[in-house]
Amino acid sequence: MSLKTLFRLLFSADAQEKKLIRSLRYLLGFYPENISVYKLAFSHRSLSLEAEGGIRLSNERLEYLGDAVLGAVVADLLFKKFPLRDEGFLTEMRSRIVSRENLKNLAVKIGVDELLQKDASPGSYRSMYGDAFEALIGAIYLDKGYAVTQKFILHRIIRIHVDLNEIESTEKNFKSMILNWGQKEKHSIVFETIEEDQKTRQIKVRLIIDDKEAATGIDFVKKKAEQIAAEKACKDLGLI
């Protein structure tokens, strides 16, 4: 951004906009050019903003865009960093990095929670901060393009706040996760072995939540089959 453009942006903005511009400069490492997309990124749907024609304005569309861009950048990074690992490993690593819980933590670390405009408590919308983080990525993409967005994700997010080696070495216990969730939310959780293939020796397990089948898992080891079923259920419930 040229100095002339920056002066025009600052002097045409009101006090609230100037504060947002300064905050974004600190957060992003550059001055925004299209401040309106960042305002939208930090507008949670609980505000119920309405534009002409009755259209509700919120950060949900930017969240969709940011999710796609973030996924592409992370996938590219992992593909290059782990050239000998298979697709399953890469998919699992990416899912951990872009999980709802991790994005929420990242949003709080970089101060997105302080910029988010909302009319609801965080408990009302479990993923509001993570959603706003993705919306911010979408706003950067629209404002500056893919290269700048990629640089922001890699150098200001991944390099500083994400330990890839730690994520690689940590195996999530999805069974414990779903059991803890059931205990906390007062749901019945049961793992049941439903069949064992006599030819392949594979074991099929189903996960039952409140007397309804939620997911199944198949593996040669019963514990692994339970983990597979638990992981599917955790994803469906938005726990990961």
Q: Which residues contact 182 (CB under 8 A, 6 or more apart)?
A: 188, 189, 209
Encode pLDDT of 14-59 as tens digits: 677 888 888 899 999 999 999 989 999 998 777 655 555 555 678 8
Q: Which of 8-17, 82-91, 142-151, 169-178 has the lowest mean pLDDT?
A: 8-17
Q: What are phi and psi of 218, to 5 degrees?
A: -130, 130
Q: What is the CATH number of domain 3-169?
A: 1.10.1520.10
At residue 10, the pLDDT reads 45
At residue 3, the pLDDT reads 42
Cα distance between residue 82 and residue 237, in whole Å = 29
At residue 173, the pLDDT reads 78
Instruction: Please say whether the beta carbons of 29 and 156 come within 8 A.
Output: yes
Q: pTM for this structure?
A: 0.67
Quote the tokens at residue 228: 């597979």
Encode pLDDT of 83-141 as tens digits: 988 887 888 789 889 988 899 999 999 999 888 887 665 555 567 899 999 999 999 99
Which residue type is seen at 226?
E
Encode pLDDT of 70-97 as tens digits: 999 999 999 999 998 888 788 878 988 9
Query: Within the chain, which residue ranges are assigned CATH 3.30.160.20?
Result: 174-237
Looking at residues 172-188, what average pLDDT do you find?
A: 87
| Interstrand relation of 212-219 and 203-209 (parallel, antiparallel or unpaired) | antiparallel
Encode pLDDT of 198-226 as tens digits: 777 889 999 999 999 999 999 888 888 89
Quote the tokens at residue 133: 């983080």
Buried b (16+ CB within 10 A) or exposed e, 126-148: ebbbbbbbbbbbbbbbbbbeeee
Quote the tokens at residue 25: 């400069």
Average pLDDT, the chain: 85
Instruction: Please say whether the beta carbons of 58 and 45 come within 8 A.
Output: yes
Query: Within the chain, which residue ranges are assigned CATH 1.10.1520.10?
Result: 3-169
Share of the chain above pLDDT 70, in %: 85
pLDDT > 90? residue 154: yes
Q: What is the CATH number of domain 174-237?
A: 3.30.160.20
**What residues are annotated to the active site?**
67, 134
For residue 215, list its beta bridge partners.
207
Q: Which uninterrupted H or E stretch holds 78?
A: helix 60-81
At residue 91, the pLDDT reads 83
